[in-house]
Amino acid sequence: IVLTQSPATLSVSPGETATLSCRASQILNNNLAWYQQKPGQAPRLLIYGASTRATGIPARFSGSESGTELTLTISSLRSEDFAVYYCHQYDKWPLTFGGGTKVEIK
Amino acid sequence: EVQLVESGGALVQPGGSLRLSCTASGFTFTAYAVTWVRQAPGKGLEWVSVISSSGGHTQYADSVRGRFTISRDNSRNTVYLHMNSLTAEDTAVYYCAKGMWGAYVDYWGQGTLVTVSS
């Protein structure tokens, strides 16, 4: 399954909302996760099951699924949210990641 | 506290072999699958391989199938990634992570760097 993330880079001002897209080549049956990665760090799980926040993840992070379109929305962006975000499907082998979206400060 | 510590990364020549280790603590190791994910310098994440909690089931990415072998020693809380016939395209930071079989991973190690170069 191919995951296509867009845009590659998203420039957003603090306090605004960022909307990240992940398009799958097949229906994923909600078997999608989102990860955040900061420079020099390992990825961190944000969302699983397309829309369930992982433990300790703030409510400003939300995920949704509509057919083959998956969306991660980050509302009221804070300085610590500027990072690279990856979607990841675990519906079919081999598992795959999207290419990532970098959220940068505008 | 959940911890996953990778080791074994090194500079290796093209065509060479290497074994990576992932040692876990802070959770019931025998209840979880362990996954390897790699990241080439400046690039995105690439799923590599996974092994089930018992070690009886494995899966591989097409890019490594036939060259890499994943295994685990539950008595040592350790998962291994045996890598053969290495090429420059295998140069990456290799992360191990825990999760359930066929599902997302929830905790990651800090990674170990493998460089394939002459």
| Low-confidence residues of chain B: pLDDT under 70 | none
CB contact under 8 A, B60 and A86: no
Q: Give the model's pLDDT for residue B4.
A: 98
Q: Tens digit of pLDDT for each residue in A53-83? A: 999 999 999 999 999 999 999 999 999 999 9
Contact B114, B17 (CB under 8 A): no
Q: Give the model's pLDDT for residue A103.
A: 98
Assess B31–A contact: CB distance below 8 Å, yes or no.
no
Q: Give the model's pLDDT for residue A89.
A: 98
User: Which phi and psi angles does A14 have, rounded to 5°?
Assistant: -55, 140
The kind and range of the H/E element at A32 are: strand A32-37
Determine the distance in angstroms separating the CA of A40 from the nearest CA of chain B, rounded to an integer: 9
pLDDT, one tens digit for every residue, chain A (106 residues): 999 999 999 999 999 999 999 999 999 999 999 999 999 999 999 999 999 999 999 999 999 999 999 999 999 999 999 999 999 999 999 999 999 999 999 8
CB contact under 8 A, A88 and B104: yes
Backbone torsion region of residue B40, taken as left when φ is above 0, otherwise alpha when ψ lies between -120 and 50, otherwise beta: beta
Q: Give the model's pLDDT for residue B56.
A: 96
